[in-house]
Amino acid sequence: SQQGEEDPQALSIQEGENATMNCSYKTSINNLQWYRQNSGRGLVHLILIRSNEREKHSGRLRVTLDTSKKSSSLLITASRAADTASYFCATDANDRGSTLGRLYFGRGTQLTVWP
Amino acid sequence: DTGVSQDPRHKITKRGQNVTFRCDPISEHNRLYWYRQTLGQGPEFLTYFQNEAQLEKSRLLSDRFSAERPKGSFSTLEIQRTEQGDSAMYLCASSPGSGNEQFFGPGTRLTVL
Protein backbone atom coordinates (compact mmCIF):
# COMPACT_ATOMS: atom_id res chain seq x y z
CA SER A 1 0.00 0.00 0.00
CA GLN A 2 1.42 3.35 -1.02
CA GLN A 3 2.20 5.78 1.74
CA GLY A 4 3.80 8.90 0.37
CA GLU A 5 1.80 11.35 -1.65
CA GLU A 6 3.53 14.10 -3.60
CA ASP A 7 2.11 17.50 -4.30
CA PRO A 8 1.77 19.01 -6.82
CA GLN A 9 1.36 16.25 -9.41
CA ALA A 10 2.91 18.51 -12.01
CA LEU A 11 5.05 21.65 -11.78
CA SER A 12 6.19 23.85 -14.64
CA ILE A 13 8.76 26.63 -14.09
CA GLN A 14 11.37 28.71 -15.90
CA GLU A 15 15.10 28.08 -15.62
CA GLY A 16 16.56 29.89 -12.66
CA GLU A 17 13.42 29.64 -10.56
CA ASN A 18 13.16 27.48 -7.48
CA ALA A 19 11.03 24.35 -7.46
CA THR A 20 9.34 23.07 -4.33
CA MET A 21 7.71 19.66 -4.08
CA ASN A 22 5.93 18.31 -1.06
CA CYS A 23 5.34 14.83 0.28
CA SER A 24 2.88 13.76 2.94
CA TYR A 25 2.72 10.40 4.64
CA LYS A 26 0.52 8.72 7.21
CA THR A 27 2.52 6.80 9.81
CA SER A 28 5.78 6.96 11.71
CA ILE A 29 8.87 6.36 9.63
CA ASN A 30 12.56 5.73 10.16
CA ASN A 31 13.60 7.65 7.10
CA LEU A 32 12.29 9.34 4.00
CA GLN A 33 14.06 9.42 0.69
CA TRP A 34 13.73 11.44 -2.50
CA TYR A 35 14.41 9.96 -5.91
CA ARG A 36 14.50 11.37 -9.39
CA GLN A 37 13.49 9.57 -12.58
CA ASN A 38 14.07 10.73 -16.11
CA SER A 39 11.47 9.54 -18.59
CA GLY A 40 11.72 5.81 -19.18
CA ARG A 41 14.77 5.39 -16.98
CA GLY A 42 15.61 3.97 -13.57
CA LEU A 43 15.48 5.97 -10.36
CA VAL A 44 18.38 7.98 -9.04
CA HIS A 45 18.69 8.49 -5.29
CA LEU A 46 18.88 12.16 -4.33
CA ILE A 47 18.81 12.38 -0.57
CA LEU A 48 17.85 10.43 2.56
CA ILE A 49 16.65 12.17 5.69
CA ARG A 50 16.22 10.28 8.95
CA SER A 51 13.35 10.80 11.35
CA ASN A 52 15.58 12.61 13.85
CA GLU A 53 16.77 15.10 11.24
CA ARG A 54 14.90 18.23 10.22
CA GLU A 55 16.85 19.47 7.23
CA LYS A 56 19.51 18.23 4.82
CA HIS A 57 21.33 19.85 1.95
CA SER A 58 23.02 18.42 -1.09
CA GLY A 59 24.22 20.86 -3.71
CA ARG A 60 21.16 22.70 -5.02
CA LEU A 61 18.81 20.41 -3.10
CA ARG A 62 17.31 21.12 0.29
CA VAL A 63 15.06 18.61 2.02
CA THR A 64 13.05 19.25 5.14
CA LEU A 65 11.20 16.78 7.32
CA ASP A 66 8.45 17.63 9.78
CA THR A 67 7.52 14.45 11.62
CA SER A 68 4.77 16.20 13.58
CA LYS A 69 3.01 17.08 10.34
CA LYS A 70 4.17 13.90 8.61
CA SER A 71 5.44 15.87 5.67
CA SER A 72 8.61 16.55 3.74
CA SER A 73 9.59 19.05 1.09
CA LEU A 74 12.21 19.00 -1.63
CA LEU A 75 13.52 22.36 -2.82
CA ILE A 76 15.59 22.63 -5.97
CA THR A 77 17.20 26.04 -6.21
CA ALA A 78 18.21 27.81 -9.42
CA SER A 79 16.57 25.12 -11.54
CA ARG A 80 17.96 24.06 -14.90
CA ALA A 81 16.33 22.47 -17.93
CA ALA A 82 18.26 19.30 -17.05
CA ASP A 83 16.27 19.08 -13.79
CA THR A 84 13.20 18.13 -15.83
CA ALA A 85 12.15 14.73 -14.46
CA SER A 86 9.73 13.01 -12.12
CA TYR A 87 10.52 13.27 -8.43
CA PHE A 88 9.35 10.66 -5.94
CA CYS A 89 9.37 10.52 -2.20
CA ALA A 90 9.68 7.11 -0.60
CA THR A 91 9.17 6.04 2.97
CA ASP A 92 10.33 2.91 4.71
CA ALA A 93 6.95 2.27 6.32
CA ASN A 94 3.54 1.51 4.88
CA ASP A 95 0.30 3.17 5.93
CA ARG A 96 -0.03 0.68 8.77
CA GLY A 97 3.38 1.61 10.17
CA SER A 98 5.07 -1.63 9.18
CA THR A 99 8.76 -1.22 8.35
CA LEU A 100 10.27 -4.09 6.44
CA GLY A 101 13.15 -2.49 4.60
CA ARG A 102 11.33 -2.04 1.34
CA LEU A 103 10.32 1.39 0.09
CA TYR A 104 6.86 2.80 -0.44
CA PHE A 105 6.65 5.35 -3.22
CA GLY A 106 4.13 8.03 -4.05
CA ARG A 107 2.95 8.80 -7.56
CA GLY A 108 5.54 11.52 -8.02
CA THR A 109 5.71 15.13 -9.14
CA GLN A 110 6.48 15.76 -12.80
CA LEU A 111 8.77 18.79 -12.94
CA THR A 112 9.27 20.62 -16.22
CA VAL A 113 11.87 23.37 -16.37
CA TRP A 114 11.65 25.57 -19.44
CA PRO A 115 14.84 27.13 -20.81
CA ASP B 1 30.48 0.57 -14.30
CA THR B 2 29.77 -0.76 -10.82
CA GLY B 3 26.08 0.16 -10.66
CA VAL B 4 23.05 -2.10 -10.82
CA SER B 5 22.52 -3.61 -14.25
CA GLN B 6 19.44 -5.22 -15.74
CA ASP B 7 19.00 -7.32 -18.81
CA PRO B 8 17.26 -7.05 -21.18
CA ARG B 9 16.37 -3.37 -21.27
CA HIS B 10 13.32 -4.01 -23.41
CA LYS B 11 11.24 -7.12 -23.98
CA ILE B 12 8.27 -7.53 -26.29
CA THR B 13 6.39 -10.77 -26.00
CA LYS B 14 3.09 -12.31 -26.94
CA ARG B 15 0.44 -13.09 -24.37
CA GLY B 16 0.95 -16.53 -22.88
CA GLN B 17 4.72 -16.61 -23.32
CA ASN B 18 7.20 -16.84 -20.45
CA VAL B 19 9.81 -14.16 -19.87
CA THR B 20 12.83 -13.94 -17.59
CA PHE B 21 14.68 -10.84 -16.48
CA ARG B 22 18.07 -10.63 -14.85
CA CYS B 23 19.44 -8.17 -12.30
CA ASP B 24 23.06 -7.81 -11.25
CA PRO B 25 23.28 -5.78 -8.04
CA ILE B 26 26.21 -3.82 -6.71
CA SER B 27 28.57 -6.55 -5.59
CA GLU B 28 28.85 -5.80 -1.88
CA HIS B 29 25.10 -5.23 -1.40
CA ASN B 30 23.30 -8.02 0.41
CA ARG B 31 19.77 -6.75 -0.24
CA LEU B 32 18.13 -6.94 -3.64
CA TYR B 33 14.65 -5.64 -4.46
CA TRP B 34 12.26 -5.97 -7.38
CA TYR B 35 9.66 -3.27 -8.11
CA ARG B 36 7.13 -2.80 -10.87
CA GLN B 37 6.17 0.58 -12.28
CA THR B 38 3.31 1.40 -14.60
CA LEU B 39 2.83 4.65 -16.45
CA GLY B 40 2.12 7.62 -14.21
CA GLN B 41 2.66 5.65 -11.02
CA GLY B 42 5.48 5.25 -8.56
CA PRO B 43 7.30 1.94 -8.24
CA GLU B 44 5.42 -0.80 -6.39
CA PHE B 45 7.26 -3.38 -4.36
CA LEU B 46 7.25 -6.97 -5.61
CA THR B 47 9.80 -8.90 -3.55
CA TYR B 48 13.18 -8.68 -1.90
CA PHE B 49 16.12 -10.86 -0.94
CA GLN B 50 18.68 -10.69 1.78
CA ASN B 51 21.59 -12.64 0.37
CA GLU B 52 19.95 -15.73 -1.16
CA ALA B 53 16.88 -15.72 1.10
CA GLN B 54 13.65 -14.32 -0.28
CA LEU B 55 12.27 -12.50 2.74
CA GLU B 56 9.03 -11.03 1.47
CA LYS B 57 6.69 -11.21 -1.48
CA SER B 58 4.01 -8.67 -2.27
CA ARG B 59 0.45 -9.73 -2.95
CA LEU B 60 1.07 -8.25 -6.40
CA LEU B 61 3.30 -11.22 -7.06
CA SER B 62 0.85 -13.82 -8.32
CA ASP B 63 1.81 -17.47 -8.66
CA ARG B 64 2.84 -16.73 -12.25
CA PHE B 65 5.78 -14.74 -10.90
CA SER B 66 8.87 -16.29 -9.39
CA ALA B 67 12.13 -14.75 -8.33
CA GLU B 68 15.43 -16.32 -7.37
CA ARG B 69 18.79 -15.16 -6.14
CA PRO B 70 21.09 -18.16 -6.23
CA LYS B 71 24.29 -17.73 -4.22
CA GLY B 72 23.16 -14.29 -3.14
CA SER B 73 24.53 -12.61 -6.25
CA PHE B 74 22.44 -11.89 -9.35
CA SER B 75 18.68 -12.36 -9.35
CA THR B 76 16.15 -13.47 -11.93
CA LEU B 77 12.47 -12.63 -12.16
CA GLU B 78 10.36 -14.95 -14.27
CA ILE B 79 6.82 -14.32 -15.41
CA GLN B 80 4.96 -17.33 -16.76
CA ARG B 81 1.98 -17.16 -19.09
CA THR B 82 2.28 -13.41 -19.51
CA GLU B 83 -0.84 -11.27 -19.64
CA GLN B 84 -1.31 -7.80 -21.11
CA GLY B 85 -1.63 -6.44 -17.57
CA ASP B 86 1.96 -7.49 -16.93
CA SER B 87 3.17 -4.74 -19.27
CA ALA B 88 5.24 -2.43 -17.10
CA MET B 89 8.76 -1.36 -16.22
CA TYR B 90 10.42 -3.87 -13.91
CA LEU B 91 13.00 -2.24 -11.69
CA CYS B 92 15.70 -3.87 -9.62
CA ALA B 93 17.48 -2.16 -6.74
CA SER B 94 20.14 -3.13 -4.25
CA SER B 95 21.26 -1.78 -0.90
CA PRO B 96 23.89 -2.64 1.70
CA GLY B 97 21.18 -3.28 4.26
CA SER B 98 17.89 -2.14 5.66
CA GLY B 99 17.31 1.58 6.21
CA ASN B 100 19.73 2.65 3.53
CA GLU B 101 19.36 4.23 0.15
CA GLN B 102 18.54 1.86 -2.65
CA PHE B 103 20.43 1.93 -5.91
CA PHE B 104 18.25 1.28 -8.91
CA GLY B 105 19.05 -0.30 -12.22
CA PRO B 106 17.82 1.12 -15.55
CA GLY B 107 14.82 -1.21 -15.59
CA THR B 108 13.41 -3.72 -18.05
CA ARG B 109 10.42 -2.49 -20.01
CA LEU B 110 8.05 -5.35 -20.76
CA THR B 111 5.38 -5.07 -23.42
CA VAL B 112 2.91 -7.93 -23.71
CA LEU B 113 1.00 -7.94 -26.99
CA B16 to chain centre: 19
Rounded to an integer, what is the distance from CA B112 to the centroid of its chain?
16
Quick one: average pLDDT of A88-112? 80
Q: Does A5 touch chain B (CB under 8 A)?
A: no
Q: Using the beta-carbon criterion (under 8 Å), do B42 and A45 form an inter-chain contact?
A: no
Length of chain A: 115
Q: Which site among B104, B108, B111 would you substitute to test the A interface, given the most A Cβ atoms closer than 10 Å to its Cβ?
A: B104
Give the nearest partner residue to A107 out of B42, B99, B101, using CB atoms: B42
Q: Is the pLDDT of residue A85 over 50?
A: yes
Flag whether pLDDT at B36 surpasses 60: yes
**What is the per-residue pLDDT for A70?**
93
Percent of chain A whose pLDDT exceeds 90 = 71
Confidence band (pLDDT; 50, 70, 90) for B1? low
Pick from A6-10, A35-39, A91-95, B108-112: least confident: A91-95
Q: In the prediction, which pLDDT does B81 show?
A: 97
pLDDT over 60 (residue B26) = yes
- Tell me which range, A19-33, A45-59, B59-73, is most confidently predicted by mean pLDDT: A45-59
Q: Is B42 in contact with A108 (CB distance < 8 Å)?
A: yes
Please determine, for residue B89, whether its predicted confidence score (pLDDT) is greater than 90. yes
- Mean pLDDT for A26-52 is 91
Q: What is the pLDDT, as a whole number, of residue A1?
A: 46
Average pLDDT score over chain A: 90
CA B70 from centroid of its chain's CA atoms = 14
The lowest-confidence range among A69-83, B6-20, B61-75 is B61-75
Sort strands A31-37 and A43-50 into parallel, antiparallel or unpaired.
antiparallel
A79 CA to chain B: closest CA distance, Å?
23
Residue of A38, A41, A102 to mutate for B, most B C-beta atoms under 10 A: A102
A30 vs A93: CA distance, rounded Å = 8
Tell me whether residues A90 and B42 touch, CB distance under 8 A. Answer: yes
Confidence of residue A28 (pLDDT cuts 50, 70, 90): confident
Q: Do B43 and A88 touch (CB under 8 A)?
A: yes
Can you tell me the mean pLDDT for A19-48? 91
Nearest-CA distance A2 → chain B (Å): 8
- In angstroms, the CA B17 to CA B79 distance is 8
Percent of chain B at pLDDT above 70? 98
Cα–Cα distances (Å) from A83 to A10, A15, A49, B103, in that order, read 13, 9, 21, 19
Per-residue model confidence (pLDDT) at position A89: 94
- Determine the distance in angstroms separating the CA of B80 from the nearest CA of chain A, rounded to an integer: 24
A42, A44, A108 ranked by CB distance to B42: nearest: A108
